[in-house]
Amino acid sequence: MNQIKPVRVRFAPSPTGALHIGGARTALFNWLYARKNGGSFILRLEDTDSERSSQESAQGILDGLAWLGIDWDEGPDKGGLYGPYRQSQRLRLYQQYLQLLIDTDQAYYCFCSNEELNADKARAREKGENYRYSGRCRHLDKEAARQRVRSGQPAVVRLRVPQAGVTRVADLIRGEVEFDNSLMDDFIIAKSDGWPTYNFAVVVDDHLMAISHVIRAEEHLSNTPRQVLIYRAFNWDLPQFAHVSMILAPDRSKLSKRHGATSVQEFRELGYLPRALLNYLALLGWSSGTDQDIWDVNDIVPRFDFEHVSRSAAVYDIEKLTWMNGYYISQAQPEALAAEMLRSARVQGWPDQTGRDYLIEVVKLLQSRARLIPELIEAAAYFFEEIAHYDEKGVKKYFARQDIKQVLEADLEILANDSAFTLDSLEASLRSKAAQMGLKAGDLIHPLRLALTGRTSSPGIFEVVVLLGRERCLQRIKQAIKWIDDNIRV
């Protein structure tokens, strides 16, 4: 009876740049599948490209996943039974398994020079054919080849690929996909410097780390038949494959920087929250089977399966993400939003009123009115900064009134003399004063709002007044009266 293997999945990025949202979605799908099945999620860094890989990029990937809330069970920072979890530290293992394939004649040394290979490619172009390696070194004597390598002659290692038949890939999303072996050549599995190629290293790593499911981007599907051939050369069991569709831009082209933010760090800097980005990424290619858009990632875990992962490309919709972010900002803990605001360089020096508690109260008042953290910061500015200018339309509509000074002086009197200074008492005082003057309450409220905030819209004016405090309100009304005297002929 076959024993069911424990679920072990991995996210294996190359640390050559920032964590792209496509990579983040791949990591999320792996994490969801592991958590649903009580399995392990492994983080592995494929950093054999020494020229392009950097520690900064590696740390950025770890930080991006951690910010999103995607935790891993084994990885370069945590260790585990199957380490090391950086390919750059696994060269001895790769060389050991390369030698095994050479010894069993599943692979061979190739000494073809670049000049020879380029000439072969040129001939193929002249004939209008696709280039395939000629197999020039395929039948070299093994011992003679070893001697040439020992003498220092540079050589790559190629896998012996069947020259006929098909290689089948069973994919949990796409079904069975066939690849014609005659269209593949004896591809390189190790470079002349001794380092393995991607296809070889990934197979060795996935096997030695007991990976049960390889869940990755669709672009890797074309690599999979080569990897299957390497598994077969070792007589190793195959993992189950699942290739997730691409994320396309709104114009259905490949998503790139010209379409805006593409990395997790960029989205954070633009003011998106991790829960919103996770929710959005989960719905890019996976369907809940309902009309519901807002999902806590922990509620997705028991529902996640490959039957509901689409084969079609997912289209990136920044407006939907921004709408989701607005929802999550409205529902977030004010303390968390305050911390994210303070992290921004835009608010260095905040809070300058009565401390962090004051900022939290400001957030409570404004969080339902913002979709992004910068919008929240901008909306909060008048609680921390003096009024530098007044909304132009508001000036024409309210400050240019014939009775504006009388109105603002009435507001000044109300705020100076209301001893309770509560929402209810202030509203009662203002409505009573408006009635005495033969005005509507709005005739006093709208100019007051413009004087206190510089804007024509804000949260409830009495909530703004109470939060700003009596002294700041009186000072700003007086400032507005002086500004009107200096700038408007009434």
Three state DSSP letters for the chain: CCCCCCCEEEECCCCCCCCEHHHHHHHHHHHHHHHHCCCEEEECECCCCCCCCCHHHHHHHHHHHHHHCCCCCEECCCECCCCCCEHHHCHHHHHHHHHHHHHCCCEEEECCCHHHHHHHHHHHHHHCCCCCCCCCCCCCCHHHHHHHHHCCCCCEEEECCCCCCEEEEEECCCEEEEEEHHHCCCCEEECCCCCECHHHHHHHHHHHCCCCEEEEEHHHHHHHHHHHHHHHHHCCCCCEEEEECCEECCCCCECCHHHCCCEHHHHHHCCCCHHHHHHHHHCCCECCCCCCCCCCHHHHHHHCCHHHECCCCEECCHHHHHHHHHHHHHHCCHHHHHHHHHHCHHHCCCCCCCCHHHHHHHHHHHHHHCCCHHHHHHHHHHHCCCCCCCCHHHHHHHHCCCCHHHHHHHHHHHHHHCCCCCHHHHHHHHHHHHHHHCCCHHHHHHHHHHHHHCCCCCCCHHHHHHHHCHHHHHHHHHHHHHHHHHHCCC
Cβ neighbours of residue 160 closer than 8 Å, sequence gap 6 or more: 105, 106, 107, 108, 138, 186, 233
Tokens 């005659």 belong to 182
Whether residue 254 lies in the annotated active site: no
Residue bearing tokens 């989701």: 324
Instruction: Sort 51 into a burial class: Cβ within 10 Å, 0-12 / 13-18 / 19+.
Output: exposed
Phi-psi region of 135 (alpha: psi -120 to 50; beta: other; left: phi over 0): left
What CA–CA distance (Å, rounded) separates 281 from 273?
12
Q: Which of 78, 257, 320, 478 is catalytic?
A: 257
User: Catalytic positions, please?
Assistant: 257
